Homo-oligomer: A and B are copies of this chain.
Amino acid sequence: MQDGNALAVRPDAGPDEDRNSGSREKGLNRVLHILEFLHANQRAIGIGDLAKGVNAPRSTIYTLVRSLVDAGLLEMAGDGNRVYFGKKLYLYGMDYVRGNDLLRHGRQEVDNLSRETGETSELCMLQSGRYTIVHSSPGTRPFRISSATGLQIPLPWTASGRLLLAGFERAVIEDMVSEDDLVLPDGRRLLLDDFIADIATAGAAGYCVTSGLVDAYTKCLAAPVFSAAGKVEATICLVVPIDTSEEKTGDLIALLRERAARLSITG
């Protein structure tokens, strides 16, 4: 009865709006989007907004969210009609930590480093082709380097990024790094060739230092943690003021490399 039928002709390549997503999405994908959206926003979201945020029908999100809340993956936030991550995800996350020696020891090492040096220290890994701060410990300096756990940053912006890509084929690297990734926060643009050259040097040297890349006031020192297979599995890094003396920087790098090497052994 509805004109729905009439419209059914659907001129195919609709000229107007970007009917970007095929109308019907797998429920699991919706869920994955929901989780990503919550992760990106870092706060409880109303179900209506959630539906908008992941570009899905309200009714679908209602049913999915109910399932997820029942399962404990999500929880209703205080005021009643907002949702955020739930205890179950925390428990699963702890399971991951327990099953992952590198992460377990790496977290500890990073905490130690920041306590010993007073600088911000981070454990970084590749996460589905993106650079991810897996754990960070703030350090004691007055200024705070903004770096929440789980934050994802373009690989070329970081010292760790250069180490993590050591040993990858050029094609793979090109694939991981988008054009936008090469543009620094201040607008400067890196050349892909320079970046790839950096990767080679860093890999050979066994450490990497970048100055004033993400911001003008800090430099980043990083050392690689190797897997048993000899691949760079993670990096630990220190974020220090850009005017840190050559000598102190050298000392810190030595310290970092020693700790990273220790992590490589214990897994």
Contact = CB atoms under 8 A, between A and B. Distances in A.
Interface of A: 26-29, 31-32, 35, 38-39, 42-44, 64, 67, 70-73, 84-99, 103, 125, 127-128, 132, 134, 148-150
A251 to B, nearest CB: 31
A232 to B, nearest CB: 16
Interface SS majority for chain A: helix
Contacts of A84: 95-96, 99
Contacts of A127: 72, 87-88, 91
> What 8 pairs between A and B have smallest CB-CB spacing?
A93-B93, A91-B150, A85-B96, A90-B93, A90-B96, A89-B92, A32-B71, A94-B149
B134 A67 contact: no
Contacts of A27: 26-28
A134 B90 contact: yes
16 contacts: A26-B27, A28-B28, A28-B31, A28-B67, A32-B73, A39-B92, A42-B98, A42-B99, A70-B128, A84-B99, A85-B92, A85-B99, A87-B127, A89-B92, A91-B150, A95-B150
Contacts of A44: 99
Contact of A89 (B72, B89, B125): B89
Contacts of A125: 87
